[in-house]
Amino acid sequence: MNKTIKITLLTLLAVVLLFVSGIGYMMFNVKMALKDMNTRETGAVNETITALKDKFCNVYLVKGETGYIAIDSGKDPAALENEMKKVAVDPASVHTLFLTHADSDHAGGRTLFAKAQVFIPQAEEAVMNGDVARKFFLKVKADIPHTPVADGEIMTIDGVKVQCITIPGHTAGSSVYIINDEYLFCGDNFSINRNNELALFPDIFNADSKLQAESLQKIADLKGLKLILSPHYGTTENVDGLKVFKNIKEKVL
Ligand SMILES: [Zn+2]
């Protein structure tokens, strides 16, 4: 065999092997991260909040004066509809949907709430229209009719106070919502481990974990919270655990 062909074939083989082992490593990381997730079963969290389990993502319903506000919508509208039957809530009574970000496991079920007004963090619009990559060079186009909600914006809907705080990192516009100053719906902005401690969200799913660490300092000093509600890690009363994000920047950088 010609020496040049031999070298070319060996180089090609090395590239293919590198690519395959890179994919394998990523898949292993995804598998491990998914194993650590821990969603709640469908049912009441308390008298105001109900959890719905859509595969590996929780959707939360907050009771207003006349209907419900949903935080995220899961992936699958049909699965979500089934879960809503279990708690006897009519999807038509969900008049408002706040999405923490536009990933499909949070936004995919939104069609079940056909008449709801959909709020999406303003900074997420750059991800949805492809101006900002979701991760590496990968772009996600999501055409979701919505009303943008700004970082720091506070509104009252159906007697429920909602504040949005944007935590860029998981995605460019990924945000948390604080309801009635007590409940922190944390989206994919941090994780809760099996020891009930708070930590960064798994790096494999983040667009930029360093940015997430920096952004989380915005909520490290929140006061007066009673409960943290996560889409993938259930709920915790460990609101003091947010303090870990005060110094996490140094640990990560
Ligand atoms: Zn997610």
Contact of 149 with 119, CB cutoff 8 Å: yes
How far is the centre of ligand 1, averaged over its atoms, from the C-alpha of 103 (Å)? Answer: 7
Task: Report CA(127)–ligand 1 centroid distance (Å).
Answer: 15
Statement to judge: residues 30 and 47 lie in one domain: no
CA of 178 to the centre of ligand 1 (A): 18
Q: If you write DSSP's letter for every residue of 138-179 in order, what string do you get?
A: B--------EEE-TT-EEEETTEEEEEEE-TTSSTT-EEEEE
- Same domain? 65 vs 101: yes
Q: Ligand 1 centre from 240 Cα, in Å?
A: 23
Total count of residues recorded for the chain: 253
Domain containing residue 4 = 1-35
Per the model's pLDDT, the better-predicted residue between 142 and 225 turns out to be 225
Distance 203 CA to ligand 1 centre (A): 12
pLDDT of residue 2: 84
What is the reported pTM? 0.90
Domain co-membership, 99 together with 58: yes
Q: How many domains does the chain have?
A: 2
Same-domain check for residues 22 and 115: no
Q: What is the DSSP letter of 231?
A: S
Q: How many angstroms is it from 11 CA to the middle of ligand 1? A: 38
Distance from the CA of 72 to the center of ligand 1, in angstroms?
Answer: 10
CATH number at residue 63: 3.60.15.10
Is the same domain home to 81 and 153? yes
Å from CA of 225 to ligand 1 middle = 23
What pLDDT digit, counting tens, does each position of 109-163 carry? 999 999 999 999 999 999 999 888 888 878 887 889 999 999 999 999 999 999 9
The answer on 49 and 9 residing in a single domain is no
Residue 19 contacts by C-beta under 8 Å, 6 or more apart in sequence?
A: none
Distance 195 CA to ligand 1 centre (A): 21
Both 43 and 143 in one domain: the answer is: yes
What was the pLDDT predicted at 241?
96
Residues 99 and 10 both lie in one domain: no
CB-CB contact of 52 with 231 (8 Å): no
pLDDT of residue 147: 97
